[in-house]
């Protein structure tokens, strides 16, 4: 045991180059007579060389670990994979169909609401699918234009062109300065809207006229001497209205009220 | 999306829409990425290589009287050889990793078979000129096999020996090893190291599988 222990120490020290020259010569002379010692010396050098690269050992460990792990992995048969694929595809297509159906019935973009050609009746690309017929549109452009005008006139939010371009304009007469409301104002249908102004050259009777988008007069207040007026919009229908404020005979400003 | 969709591709023939996903996975695991990952010893790469290329190695081995364990050893040695070559500066990989690994594993298995038959039928009494050619490839293959067998014994060592030798392999200083292993001084660390190496040498010397490498004389 002692001999082998000392041998092992000598071999280790030899490969680690820790022997003195005298000890090294002694060991080599011993090895020249002892083939087993020679074998051990070479094996020790081999071990040192093989285990020199830590990365290689790590890689070897990784490979072994992967092999062990993967050996225990359950391999799913091909027919099960195909079946799973079919089920998942069916589920996905059903889900897509449900989403399309839901969107078709419950969703319409607000910007398309005034356009008769892009309402919920025309289902966009869906109309090309079997079972979806194209909406029956008027046959000639003239008829389609008429239909569009009717549809637009029925819409309470359709702007009125002859007023629309005047919205926000202010007269050159500087006898009255309108403080509120703004030229384009949004207002709830059951709230109050305050109109206020300031006389710049002494009091002048002020008149306020409100029309709907068809040009029908909804309210006409004349000869107001106060510097404000509160409009109660309770029971007013939703839609687009235009107001005109005049000082005496002079039109001061035009604005729009979007009642929602 | 379940992982098993990406493992085999033939059932995508039924659903061409999903083939795009497979293409994406193949793009992710490109040849360059695999080579880089293998050189760095990345586990995900090894896993991918195993899943994709091991069946190929298994078919080489099983077609020539090999079993699953042989295939695993060949796969291990083949990857170690490729790893060693990738680390060498002179080496350039001119083909795909799959092709290269295939040729390495095929040669490895052929040589191993030849050696096995020589041992079985004692035909090593003479060495023909062709068999006597000691090429660099053969040396590398022997090196990889030796490494695997020695490492097997290394793993079988007692826990403290494995830890101690691992510290040596990581080139840690004796003081650090003494501190980690809770030894009193560096001389004791050296003594334990010599003891552990002696243990490892004895294990290797007594292993009949390793006898083939002991032909130093």
- Whether ipTM tops 0.85, in short, is no
Q: Does B173 touch chain A (CB under 8 A)?
A: no
Q: Does A34 touch chain B (CB under 8 A)?
A: no
CA distance B181 to B197: 16
Q: Specify the pLDDT at position B2.
A: 39
Q: Which residues of chain A have a pLDDT value below 70?
A: 1-8, 106-138, 152-153, 173
**What are the tens digits of pLDDT across the range B131-151?**
444 567 777 888 888 888 888
**What are the tens digits of pLDDT across the range A27-83?**
888 888 888 888 888 888 888 887 777 888 888 888 988 888 888 777 777 788 889
Contact yes or no for A70 and B10 at CB 8 A: no
CB A177 within 8 A of CB A200: yes
Nearest to B217 among A5, A35, A56 (CB): A35
For A74, counting Cβ atoms within 10 Å of its Cβ (0-12 exposed, 13-18 middle, 19+ buried), the class is exposed
Contact yes or no for A12 and B198 at CB 8 A: yes
Q: What is the dihedral angle through the alpha carbons of B76, B82, B87, B89, rounded to the nearest 10 degrees?
A: 160
pLDDT tier at B74, thresholds 50, 70, 90 = very high
Q: Specify the pLDDT at position A101.
A: 83
Residue of chain A whose Cα is closest to the Cα of B144: A50
Contact yes or no for B197 and A89 at CB 8 A: no
Mean pLDDT of B145-158: 87
Q: Does B163 touch chain A (CB under 8 A)?
A: no
CA distance B193 to A6: 13
Range of weakest confidence among A97-111, B85-99, B180-194: A97-111
pLDDT tier at B215, thresholds 50, 70, 90 = low
DSSP A249: T
Nearest to A63 among B8, B10, B46 (CB): B46
pTM over 0.80: no
Mean pLDDT of B27-47: 82
Q: Specify the pLDDT at position B13.
A: 45
Which of A1, A5, A6, A8 is the best residue to mutate to test the B interface, defined by the most B CB atoms within 10 Å of its own CB? A8
Look-up: residue for tokens 């490839």? B137
Mean pLDDT of B52-78: 90
CB A167 within 8 A of CB A255: yes
Mean pLDDT of B69-82: 91
Which of A18, A60, A85 is the best residue to mutate to test the B interface, defined by the most B CB atoms within 10 Å of its own CB? A60
CA distance A165 to A169: 8
CB A256 within 8 A of CB A183: yes
Q: What are phi and psi of A228, to 5 degrees?
A: -155, 160
Q: Does B4 touch chain A (CB under 8 A)?
A: yes
Residues of chain A with Cβ-Cβ distance to B197 below 8 Å are 8, 11-12, 44, 47
Q: Specify the pLDDT at position A93.
A: 93
Nearest to B194 among A8, A35, A63 (CB): A8
Predicted confidence (pLDDT) at residue B20 exceeds the cutoff of 60: no
Residue of chain B whose Cα is closest to the Cα of A5: B195
pLDDT tier at B3, thresholds 50, 70, 90 = very low
Look-up: residue for tokens 């680390």? B87
Q: What are phi and psi of A229, to 5 degrees?
A: -145, 130
> Which residues touch A92 (CB under 8 Å, ≥6 apart)?
none
Q: Specify the pLDDT at position A250.
A: 85
Contact yes or no for B47 and A43 at CB 8 A: no
């Amino acid at each position: 045991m002692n001999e082998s222990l000392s041998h092992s120490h000598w071999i280790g020290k030899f490969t680690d180059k820790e022997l003195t020259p005298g000890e090294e010569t002694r060991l080599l002379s011993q090895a020249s007579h002892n083939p087993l010692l020679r074998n051990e010396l070479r094996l020790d050098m081999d071990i040192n060389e093989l285990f020199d690269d830590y990365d290689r050992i790590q890689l070897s460990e990784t490979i072994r670990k992967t092999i062990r792990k993967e050996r225990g992995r359950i391999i799913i048969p091909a027919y099960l994979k195909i079946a799973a694929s079919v089920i998942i595809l069916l589920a996905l297509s059903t889900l897509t169909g449900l989403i399309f159906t839901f969107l078709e019935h419950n969703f319409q973009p607000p910007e398309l609401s005034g356009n008769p050609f892009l309402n919920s009746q025309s289902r966009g690309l869906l109309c090309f699918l079997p079972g979806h017929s194209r909406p029956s549109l008027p046959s000639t452009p003239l008829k389609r234009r008429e239909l569009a005008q009717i549809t637009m006139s029925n819409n309470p939010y359709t702007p009125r062109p002859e007023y629309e371009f005047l919205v926000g304009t202010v007269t050159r007469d500087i006898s009255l300065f309108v403080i509120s409301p703004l030229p384009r104002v949004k207002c709830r249908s059951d709230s109050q809207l305050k109109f206020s102004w300031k006389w710049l050259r002494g009091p002048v009777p002020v008149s306020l006229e409100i029309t709907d988008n068809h040009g029908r007069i909804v309210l006409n207040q004349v000869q107001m001497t106060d510097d404000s007026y509160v409009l109660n919009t309770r029971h007013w229908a939703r839609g687009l209205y235009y107001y005109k404020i005049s000082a005496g005979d002079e039109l001061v400003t035009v604005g729009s009220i979007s009642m929602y | 999306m379940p992982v098993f969709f990406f493992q085999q591709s033939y059932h995508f023939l039924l659903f061409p829409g999903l083939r795009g996903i497979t293409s994406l996975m193949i793009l992710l695991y490109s040849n360059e990425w695999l080579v880089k990952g293998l050189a760095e010893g990345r586990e995900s790469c090894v896993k991918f290589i195993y899943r994709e290329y091991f069946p190929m190695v298994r078919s080489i081995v099983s077609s020539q009287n090999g079993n699953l364990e042989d295939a695993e050893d060949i796969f291990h040695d083949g990857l170690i050889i490729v790893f060693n070559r990738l680390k060498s500066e002179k080496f350039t990989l001119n083909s795909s990793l799959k092709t290269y690994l295939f040729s390495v594993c095929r040669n490895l298995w052929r040589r191993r078979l030849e050696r096995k038959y020589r041992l079985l039928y004692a035909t090593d009494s003479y060495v023909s000129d062709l068999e006597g050619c000691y090429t660099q490839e053969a040396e590398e293959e022997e090196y990889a096999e030796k490494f695997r067998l020695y490492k097997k014994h290394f793993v079988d060592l007692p826990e403290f020996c494995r830890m101690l030798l691992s510290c040596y392999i990581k080139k840690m200083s004796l003081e650090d090893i003494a501190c980690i292993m809770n030894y009193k001084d560096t001389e004791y660390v050296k003594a334990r190291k010599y003891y552990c190496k002696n243990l490892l040498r004895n294990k290797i010397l007594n292993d009949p599988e390793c006898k083939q490498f002991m032909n130093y004389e």
